Amino acid sequence: MVFVKDLEFKLDSLDIHQNTEIKGTIQVSYMGRYDGVVINTQIIDSNEHIIYKSYNGKKISQNVSRLFISRDAMPEHKAEFTAVINFEAEKEHEVKFRVSIIEQHKEIESCIVFAKYSC
């Protein structure tokens, strides 16, 4: 029996630095209907936010700290995004990325990845 995950998420690097581009990839294998995916990010022990810059080559005009990508904007059920963290950290922070498949405002499945942020 082969089990395939409905959602895969990875970052190009788990070591994030100030003003360095963060690149991530999301692959959805979920066979049911879904509206899209949402990426929520939390910088642990901080009130600061990540800033998403683009997804699938499309620039984001306003600074958003939470990103929804519609299924219609995900060719082959895949999304690539870029983001940045700008604040100067006095210590190392853990960054939690949580990606969820969304169907009619309900979460179908999620995946969590942790990275480290420092200047």
Model confidence pLDDT, tens digit, residues 9-57: 999 999 999 999 999 999 999 988 999 999 999 999 998 989 999 999 9
Q: What is the pTM of this model?
A: 0.89
Residue type, 23: K
The domains of the chain are located at: 7-118
Counting Cβ atoms within 10 Å, is residue 86 exposed (0-12), middle (13-18) or buried (19+)?
exposed
Cα torsion at 62, 51, 6, 57 (round to 10°)?
Answer: 60
Looking at domain 7-118, does it have CATH number 2.60.40.10? yes
d(CA 117, CA 115): 7
